Chains A and B, each alone.
Chain A
Amino acid sequence: MTADNDRRSSGAGSGDERRVGIDRRTPVDPAAAAAGERVADREREVREAIRAELLVDMEEEARSGKATTPAEPVIELQGVSLAFDRPVLEDISFGLYPGETVCVVGESGSGKSTILKLILRLLVPDAGRVFVDGQDVTDVSYGEALTMRRKMGMVFQSAALFDSMTVFENVAYPLREHVKMREDEIEERVNETLRFVDLDPEQVADKLPSALSGGMRKRVGVARGMAARPKIMLYDEPTSGLDPLTTGTITRLIVKLQRELQVSSLVVSHDIRSVFRMATRVVLLYDR
């Protein structure tokens, strides 16, 4: 599937059991509408309000997006299928283009997080190809996969901070591991990154992850993911298990990363409200 027809194919394709709806910066879309049917009625009103609020903004972005020449996708899935005991993903195709935030939504158990594992090559698809930065990563060796993963920053659902290390060491980990940086440069970068995610380095740097609240852990997770300044960020349920205020903070953070650092983001979420806040495009996974 080329970049071009990827953009044209909007919404519910016809055919296979499980399909992907693709909406290129068009807020009122059959795919999104299908998602709407699955959420409760009382959610609908709020969503409409948020949509209206974002409509102007999104149309503007869509126009400026059209003005530029179409770029190569930084991540592309082509007809990817994967089954464990039962089929998890069937014939999934979509692309992530530079500078956009794509949200993958779908019911629990629809294989959203599996997509991230496929992109990171923690799993290998049964069929189809996965491209990262133009490189076909479907069949790369374990060693090459380790190198390839450094292009991406991943934020885990449970933050997955190393609990034997302090916050500082956690954020410094990708820098110490791969980037040849002097210790004072590392310290500067870590403090800068912590401030970017609205944490005070003086207060949190020496704490252990277990001493932090859930929202703070999540933000440290984002900081660790972006410490080496990857061009691609992947988020697994960034707002799950957080209170509405913290959810807002994390959502704003993802938008801030996209706007200020031009990071391409792929967000897996079932929190429709924050998806509408941050997504430039929505991918919907559903059963027929």
Chain B
Amino acid sequence: MLAVQEYVSLASKAIRYCFVRPFYVNDVIQQMDTIGVQSIPIVILTGFFTGMVLALQTSVQLEAFGATQYIGKLVAASMIRELGPVLAGLMVAGRVGSGIAAQIGSMMVTEQIDALNTLGTDPIKKLVTPRLIASLVMLPLLTVITDFVGILGGNVIASVYVGLPTGTYWQTVWEQLASGGFTLRYIPNDFIQGLVKPFVFGGLISITACYYGLQTRGGTEGVGLSTTRTVVTASIMILVVDYFLTQIMLAAFNA
């Protein structure tokens, strides 16, 4: 119970400090590079292979009904609504969450956090807020990349194994987007659903990692423990929160 309280208090402070001077712009940019740009290769790889395997599996199922031309529709629906956000979230939780927890954790055990405090800097403002902002901005962007590369992977399989023309594939992708309806006339609802999720996941990952980082006690062993806890907790949170977000948004868009 105390842990939940501390977690929430850390999160609310980190969010509040987004709007209070001084702003550590350099730190935000540096974190965007570490969290976002350096994660691009890993999400491209996971996205591409997931898209391919999705196309492969659905083609087998659809063949039974003679409906292989709908591969694009299925791949797009799964990637944009679910797999893109969740995969990007899990990969970033593993790659970035662990990194943040280890870095802040070792700063904690080597008294660097105390040093920040004594030099008159609020560690939450200097360390947590920049990471939160960077995650909130970068995770949706990474998800867009994952989605696109995943659908591209599906395209490759569709044309190579099933012999579906690329034009037909992308047409069914578009059909899927259009079938979900639009917000403000031009933005497919699937996009909104697929971008709200990574935004939330980004917040969860950075706050969880910073929380465990700042909780670190007891030398290098403690740092290892914090890292593990971060990855486990953040991954589980992503999967659980994803379910509830899906339920909320399905209700919202179908109403």
Contact = CB atoms under 8 A, between A and B. Distances in A.
A156 interface: yes
Interface string A128-170: 0000000000000010001101101010111011110000000
B117 interface: yes
Interface in B82-138: 107, 110-112, 114-115, 117-122
A173 B27 CA distance: 14
Give the interface SS of chain A, mostly helix, strand, loop or mixed.
mixed
A240 to B, nearest CB: 13
Contact of B114 (A146, A152, A156, A178): A156
Nearest to B106: A163
Interface residues on B, range: 10 to 19
B191 to A, nearest CB: 37
B82 to A, nearest CB: 37
B122 to A, nearest CB: 6
Contacts of B111: 156-158, 160
A122 interface: yes
Contact of B112 (A122, A154, A160, A174): A160
Contact of B121 (A142, A146, A158, A160): A146
Contacts of B120: 146-147, 149-150, 174, 177-178
A146 B112 contact: no
B227 to A, nearest CB: 17
Q: Which of B107, B110, B119, B120 has the most CB of A within 10 A?
A: B119
B112 A120 contact: no
Q: Which of B118, B121, B122 has the most CB of A within 10 A?
A: B118
Contacts of B118: 120, 122, 149, 152, 154
A149 B112 contact: no
B121 A177 contact: yes
Q: Which of B120, B121, B122 has the most CB of A within 10 A?
A: B120
Contact of B117 (A120, A173, A177, A178): A120
Contacts of B117: 120, 122, 146, 149
A187 to B, nearest CB: 18
Nearest to A178: B120
Contacts of A149: 117-120
Contacts of A161: 112, 115
A173 B121 CA distance: 10
Nearest to A146: B120
A220 to B, nearest CB: 12
Contact of A173 (B114, B119, B122): B119
Contacts of B115: 154, 156, 160-162
A232 to B, nearest CB: 11
B112 A162 contact: yes
B28 to A, nearest CB: 15
Contacts of B110: 158, 160, 163
A154 B112 CA distance: 12
B102 to A, nearest CB: 12
B225 to A, nearest CB: 20
B183 to A, nearest CB: 41
Q: Which of B107, B115, B122 has the most CB of A within 10 A?
A: B115
B111 to A, nearest CB: 4
Contacts of A224: 119
Nearest to B115: A160
B6 to A, nearest CB: 15
28 contacts: A122-B114, A142-B122, A146-B120, A146-B121, A147-B120, A149-B118, A149-B120, A154-B115, A154-B118, A156-B111, A156-B114, A156-B115, A158-B111, A160-B111, A160-B112, A160-B114, A160-B115, A161-B115, A162-B112, A162-B115, A163-B110, A173-B119, A174-B119, A177-B119, A177-B120, A177-B121, A178-B120, A224-B119
